[in-house]
Structure formats: C-alpha cells, structure tokens
Amino acid sequence: MHKTKEKPMPFEGIRVLEYAIFHAGPGAGAILGELGADVIKIESSTGDPLRSWKGVAKYNFISSNGECLMNDVSNHHKRSIVLDIAKPKGREIFNKLLKKTDVFITNLRKSTRQALELDYESLSKINPELVHASVSGYGKDGPDADIGAFDLMGQARSGMMYATGGTEPVPISLAVLDQATAIALSHAIITALLVKERQGIGQEVHVSLYSTAIWLLYTNLYFSSANNYNGDFAWDREYNNYLRNNYLCKDGKWVVGVKHPPEKAFEIFCNALGRDFLLDDPRFSDESKRVLNNPALIAAIDEAFLEKDSDQWVEYLHGYGLMFATVKMVGDVLNDPQALINNYIVDLDYHNQGSIRVPGYPVTFGKNGTRPACVGPKIGEHTDAILKETGLSHQEIKDLRMNKVI
C-alpha cells in the first residue's frame, strides 16, 4: 500500500470535548480526530450505549474485544474519560476542560441539554469563544425539536425510503444518514472554527438527521417541486437511457454506464458492441424514436453484453471513450487496487483479530497529513491522563474514583 512521510495535521492544537452517543454526533468527532484534533469523549460508567449495541439479527456486530464494531467506526482517534458531570466535582472538572476547548459536540435532546446546562447559552458563559455543535432528530426549533430520532426516522420522514422506487419503503443500509449527518456537522464545525479565527467569535451550529436527509435528496426534491410531482425516481432498466443503464455480462456480473450526448454516442456505442445493424433499424433512427422503442433497444444491447466478462467490457468500452464501471459488491472494494493505492482502504491492526481493512480518510492534502486508522478507546481508557493534564494529583484522582465521580 502506498505510504507517504509524515506531514503536520490540519487540526493539530484543536481540542474537542464530546458528550454524545451512537454515531451522528460522535461520527463528527471521529472526523475531526482524523484531521488531528485532540478529541476527548466523556462517557458514563457504563459507556456509550453504542458499545453494547447488537446490530441487526442477520449480522454479527460484536468484535473480538466484546464490543460493537460500530464503536470503532464512531469513536476512533478519541480519548475516553469517565466523568459524572451531575456531581459537583465532576462538573468542576468538566468546566475546567471546557475552558481550554475549541469545540463541544453533543446530540442529547434539547430538554436534556438544558437540564444538564450543556446548551450553548450555558456553556458560552464559561467559554465565550466556544463552537457549540449539536445534533437533533428533526431540528432545533418547531414542535418536534425535542423528539429523539435514529437514522431510519430521518430516512422515513424525508422520503428517502421511496427514493429508489417501489411501492414499499426500503431503507438505505447501513447508517448512511448517520454518517452523512456526521459529515455535515464536521463541515459546520470547520466553518465555525474558520469564523472564530477570522472574526474572533464562537457560536452554536446545529444539524439534524432530517436536515441532512433533505440536503441529500436535493435533486429529487427540486425536481418534485418544479414539476409538482410527488413520486419516486425508480431505476427502471427498460425505460432508462441506453447509455445510463446497467447490463448483465457473461461472468454474471453487471456493468453500468452513464449518459453521453445520445446523438453523438449512439453510433460509437453500437459499433463498439458489434451491433452496427441497429443503426439501420428504423425504430432507432433518431433519439425520439429510440425513446419510444427503448425496451426493444435495451433487449438488443442486453444480448451483446452477454458475450464478454464485465471487466473485459469496461476496459474495451473505455477504449471507445465510453464511461462504464463494473458493479462491485461492498466486500470487493476491500481488495480494489485503485482504492488501496490511494489509501481509500487501509490496513488496521484490529484488537485480537490481526489486520483488517477499513476506509481511510477520503481527502488528501498536498502539505498536510491525517491520522492513520485506529480502533476506538476502551471505556475511560484515558481518564487518569486527562485529569493529570488538568493539574489533579494522583491522590485527588484516587479520591474521585472512590466517590464515583470518575
């Protein structure tokens, strides 16, 4: 795998304090950690409930260390401290950490944040330059502002479950909206940090599962509004353009192409397939007729694709300037040479299982680096080290533990 020498990371010197669970909030913290930020995750004595999440019945989500695999996805590049902020001493420690913090991340419900005084108004009194980043289910205002939600709720309410067509709603697996919300939150945080640097002000930033889902569905909603259309955008092979379609190949795998200017590409495509006789078929003599007779055209093209394997077709069609790609299974990506050479997939020493392959950070910087892949921290793994950084002595830490503050 391609390796580069170490470079300084973009967020070195940035401190993030996180009081969040599951993924939509913590996922943003993990992204900032990849960029070099010091992310401190505050947990209860039982830990983030994601640690013990069993996932769905069909799949094994528990790793060799006895915790949910998603804990590593959501919490890599973080330090974990167990701290009871409901106790006066715990709150004192929290406030001390907060004063030296650039970003605070939470996805607690609005009423809970207010009850625990973790809302922006409360925390900005302690640290006026703080970037306070929060996640909700449906938005920070309105009648549903305090209703909790998970990935599926956002998919359901936004129309996403019908985005691929069909009469029954189909969720998009796995945790796509959680991850997209984490990305949106990290985007907001980075923007707010830039504002802080240039204007010297802290502020609250907020994103919801619902807002992110709507943003992801931008094209669908735009088309629906402009055309007064409340329906799906189903992928229907017989009615898709012949150059924006998928085709089954000799090896049982599929390839997919994208649409070129049809009038220009039709002749090239037919010649590439060895189906130049289609050019003389009156049903396909111009684009309007091809649209009317699309099922027959797709059927003729289907026959051609069964003559070669998928990878052979892709390489061959690239030679004609036609954009095609083999449709891969998710597991295939782990061994894709293109993904490996670009560090989109990287090796990770995973607990007691040895090396596994996981996604790397998707962006490359010319003069900066990012942290290599790592596993998430154990519950409270860094409690003592973090408390020592605040100036507490060994005896003081011992007393805190005896009083169950940590």
Q: List pLDDT tens digits, range 71-95.
A: 999 999 999 999 999 999 999 999 9
Largest Cα–Cα distance of the chain, in whole Å? 90
Domains (range + CATH), the chain? 15-220+376-402 (3.40.50.10540), 241-331 (3.30.1540.10)
Distance, in Å, from the CA atom of 350 to the CA atom of 42, rounded to the nearest integer, reads 23
pLDDT reported for residue 58:
67
Q: How far apart are CA 260 and CA 8, in angstroms?
A: 42
> What is the pLDDT, as a whole number, of residue 207?
98
pLDDT higher than threshold 80 for residue 263: no
Nearest one of 121, 109, 32, 122 to 77, comparing CA atoms: 32
Mean confidence (pLDDT) of the chain? 93
- Separation between Cα atoms, residue 361 and residue 351, nearest integer Å: 20
- Phi, psi values for residue 224, rounded to 5°: -65, -40
Residues 241/295, Cβ–Cβ less than 8 Å: no
**Average pLDDT of 285-294?**
93
- Give the confidence band of 1 by pLDDT, cuts at 50, 70, 90: very low
pLDDT of residue 216: 95
Q: Which band of pLDDT confidence, cut at 50, 70 and 90, is reported for residue 53? A: confident
pLDDT tens profile 3-32: 445 899 999 999 999 999 999 999 999 999
* HEC letters along 52-117: HCCCCCCCCCECCCCCEHHHHHHHCCEEEEECCCCCHHHHHHHHHHHHCCCEEEECCCHHHHHHCC
Beta strand 345-349 with 355-359 is antiparallel
Reported confidence tier of residue 356, pLDDT bands at 50, 70, 90: very high
Is 56 a residue whose pLDDT tops 70? no
Find the mean pLDDT for residues 107-131: 97
Instruction: Give me the DSSP letters along 295-359.
Output: HHHHHHHHHHHTTS-HHHHHHHHHTTT--EEE---GGGGGG-HHHHHTTSEEEEE-TTS-EEEEE
Residues whose CB falls within 8 Å of the CB of residue 142, separated by 6 or more in sequence, listed in order:
none
Task: Dump pLDDT digits (tens) for 323-336.
Answer: 999 999 999 999 99
Q: What is the model's pTM?
A: 0.92
DSSP string over 6-24: ----TTTT-EEEEE--TTT
Specify the pLDDT at position 5. 54
The alpha carbon of 300 is separated from its chain's Cα centroid by a whole number of angstroms, namely 39
% pLDDT > 70, the chain: 97
Tokens standing for 273?
Answer: 């397939």
Cβ burial, residue 291 (10 Å; 0-12/13-18/19+) = middle
Confidence of residue 274 (pLDDT cuts 50, 70, 90): very high
pLDDT digits (tens, 9 = 90+) for 27-37: 999 999 999 99
The pLDDT-based confidence of 168 (bands split at 50, 70, 90) is: confident
For residues 294 and 243, the answer to whether their CB atoms sit within 8 Å is no
In contact, 49 and 21? CB cutoff 8 Å: yes
pLDDT at 57: 58
> Are β-strands 131-136 and 15-19 bridged in parallel, bridged antiparallel, or unpaired?
unpaired
Q: Do 69 and 368 meet the contact criterion of CB atoms below 8 Å apart?
A: no
* Banded model confidence at residue 225, pLDDT cuts 50, 70, 90: very high
Amino acid code (one letter) for 38: D
Indicate whether 376 pLDDT > 90.
Answer: yes
The Cα-based distances of 324 to 266, 278, 296, 320 in angstroms read: 15, 20, 21, 11
- Amino acid in the structure at residue 21: I
Q: How far is CA 44 from CA 47, 48, 80, in A?
A: 5, 7, 10
Query: What pLDDT shows up at residue 261?
Result: 80
